[in-house]
Amino acid sequence: MSTPSSTSYKLILFDPAHITETAELLYISKLGLTINRLLFKDWPNEAMQRKNYTSVIENLPGSEFEGITAVDEVSGEVLAHLAIRRKTPVANNDEEEKGKGGAAAAAPAAPEIPEFFNAEVFSAVRAAVSELSQGLEEVDHLELTYIVVKPAHRGRGIGKALMEFVFERAKALGIPIAVSAEPQLYEYFKKRAFTDRHHVDFELAKWAPPYSGFGTFRLAGLMWYP
């Protein structure tokens, strides 16, 4: 894995030694999300936010996700990070099982909602993610889970280098890339030839105090085709 020689950073596969630093980067990137002010109880609830994002990063090694990190070549500082996973079509064996006299597999139980989340907001976000995934179950694709770049290092082409890695992977596999884009990254992906599939709007005012300025938050499903 290489980057242009004019840069002072390199792209590497995620190293567990970077868990704490990468989790902090993810935490910082999510502070600006309006919906998170309602999702997390007792905002900003920094301790629980950091615990949540640390758990996300801790689960990368050995999982179906692949993490790619941009690090400073001199200091080793984590500058940016992304996570992807390949999602392949899963055969529906319900009819086959019924033909054998068996019952169709039961739907998996919904995961328990962590106590530091607002249950209504969490359930709405989970439902939105499920809605955006509809139609992709039978499509072999790469899912771009997130991409984050430290604010002080934006504009250096680091995010572009990370995206080029994903584009090249998708081209080599001959499959598209899917992403669920939060508002602050929507135009970023549109400028990189991602096209709209579907979106879900949240009316945040119903969970917020009256006259507090919360409006519509949009989660957009986008695709990029090689």
- pLDDT tens across 74-128, in order? 999 999 999 999 999 976 555 444 455 554 555 566 678 999 999 999 999 999 9
Amino acid (1-letter code) at residue 203: E
Is residue 87 a contact partner of residue 132, using CB atoms and an 8 Å limit?
no
DSSP code for 196 = E
Is 9-89+114-224 a CATH 3.40.630.30 domain?
yes
* Strands across the sheet containing 78-87: 9-13, 66-72, 78-87, 141-149, 177-181, 216-224, 195-203
What pLDDT sits at residue 109?
66
Q: Are 30 and 36 in contact (CB under 8 A)?
A: yes
Q: pLDDT tier at 159 (50, 70, 90 boundaries)?
A: very high
User: How much is the average pLDDT of 61-86?
Assistant: 96
Considering only 1-10, 14-23, 175-184, which range has the smallest mean pLDDT?
1-10
Contact 185, 142 (CB under 8 A): no
pLDDT digits (tens, 9 = 90+) for 117-142: 999 999 999 999 999 999 999 999 99
**Quick check: 188 and 204 in contact, CB under 8 A?**
no
Rounded mean pLDDT of the chain? Answer: 91
Q: Provide the whole-model pTM.
A: 0.87
Q: What contacts 87, CB < 8 A, 6 or more positions away?
A: 136, 139, 140, 141, 142, 143, 178
Domain boundaries, the chain: 9-89+114-224
Confidence of residue 43 (pLDDT cuts 50, 70, 90): very high
Residue type, 71: V
pLDDT of residue 6: 45
